[in-house]
Amino acid sequence: MCGRLGIVIEDIVAFLPPSGRSQCAATCKLWRGLLPKISPVARQPSARNIIDTIWRTGRSKKKKDNLPRHAAETLGYDLFFVVSGIRLSCLVDCVSLHPSKVLTLLSALRGLHPEFQHVHALVLGDDVFFIHRVRFVQAKLYDMTCQMRNLLLVDVTKVHADSRPQCFQDDGRMVSFLASLVHALMGSNDNAKIYFLDDLMDDIAWLSSTAIAGLLLNYPVIYSFRDVHQSESNALAMQPLYVVHVETNDNSTSPRTLLRFSVPVALIPHASYLALIRARSRLQYVGCAVDVTTSTLSSVAL
């Protein structure tokens, strides 16, 4: 019920004065701490200031431990998209970050711009994700309300040599995981900056890391292993894949990737489904100009 109410409120909140938002927030405990924080930011931080802050924070007395400038630039743009609300989350794949460095970085960024109070870190194994807590929670509440039927769930478990990817419906494990995560995020205060997912939720043992990463990155197609004990190989090898790539379209800067995902061609029911995938990918980034390109890979050796 709270999830459905939240979606309705999200649609009308932009038209409400601050007093109206407070009244709406008071009607639902789950959204009480969320609604007052989703008003537009008067001044967005610049990508260059974020990059410079990351680079300075990554400096060390030992030269070999310094954060490379190119890594600071890649991470800086990712965090710029997150704090601006263009993306809900990002994965740090350009550099290895220890949790202590993550906390130092977030503290420095919060001093740069107040909107960074909503940016938190999730640690899954050796991977670090940054999320915009408010917008991420909104999106996951929608997924939970739809019982994951708004997503294409693909089982890539390879049981035998001829196994093929298959669509499936969530048996409750993904919804349970998201419910635990949303509860933790909504119950935290602004001083809680980092969450260790392995310690936070028991449900994680029943989900593959591939599925969790897809949910955290808000992919429309989620690859999962129904049998987590058979996740060393997958059924995508040598399967034709339809790839969607979304990048920024800004003449002042080089194009930056916002989203890149794939779906097995064999699971696309008809041609109009491709147009739906493209449209949804574009609508996910209504706050900026983007280009959506698609391609088909005849076979992928994994």
- Give yes or no for residue 137 having a pLDDT over 80: yes
Q: Do 199 and 50 belong together in one domain? A: yes
Let me know: does 86 contact 45? Beta carbons within 8 Å: no
Whether residues 134 and 17 share a domain: the answer is no
Q: Would 57 be classed as within a structural domain?
A: yes
Chosen domain end from 235, 251, 281: 235
Q: Which of 23-27, 175-179, 180-184, 233-237 has the lowest mean pLDDT?
A: 23-27
Of 214 and 41, the structure prediction assigns the larger pLDDT to 214
pTM (two decimals) = 0.81
User: CB under 8 Å to 161, separation ≥6 — which residues?
Assistant: none
How high is the pLDDT of residue 1? 47
Here the tokens at position 247 are 């990048």
Longest CA–CA separation in the chain, Å: 61
Query: In whole angstroms, what is the distance from residue 10 CA to residue 100 CA?
Result: 35
pLDDT of residue 235 exceeding 60: yes
Do residues 161 and 27 both lie within one domain? no
Q: Does the pLDDT value for residue 213 go beyond 90?
A: yes
- pLDDT category at 42 given cuts 50, 70, 90 is very low
pLDDT of residue 26: 54
Read off the DSSP letter of residue 253.
S
d(CA 218, CA 225): 18
Mark which of 214, 235, 256 sits at the end of a domain: 235
In the structure encoding, which two tokens stand for residue 32, read together? 């009480």
Same domain, 90 and 146: yes
In the chain, pLDDT over 70 holds for what percent of residues? 76
What angle, rounded to 10 degrees, do the helices at 47-57 and 69-83 form? 130
Which has the minimum average pLDDT: 137-151, 252-266, 282-296? 282-296
Residues 82 and 14 in one domain: no
Chain centre distance of CA 220: 11
More confident residue, 275 or 9: 275
Question: Which stretch of 87-91, 144-148, 169-173, 189-193 has the lowest confidence by average pLDDT?
Answer: 189-193
**26 lies in the same domain as 116:** no
> How high is the mean pLDDT of the chain?
80
Asked if residue 163 and residue 65 are part of one domain, the reply reads yes
State how far Cα 295 lies from the chain centre. Answer: 23
Domain boundary among 235, 255, 281: 235
- Please tell me the total count of domains within the chain: 3
| pLDDT bracket for residue 41 (50, 70, 90) | very low
What band does 260 get if pLDDT is binned at 50, 70 and 90? very high
Q: Please check whether residues 121 and 245 belong to one and the same domain.
A: no
Q: What is the pLDDT of residues 82-130, one digit of tens each?
A: 998 889 999 998 778 888 889 999 999 998 888 898 999 999 988 999 9
> Is 190 domain-assigned?
yes
Of 20-29, 183-192, 225-234, the one with minimum mean pLDDT is 20-29
Any residues with CB less than 8 A from the CB of 94 and at least 6 apart, and which? 70, 71, 74, 75
**What's the confidence (pLDDT) of residue 68?**
82
Q: What is the distance between the alpha carbons of residues 45 and 115, in angstroms, rounded to a whole number?
A: 8
Domain that holds residue 26: 2-37
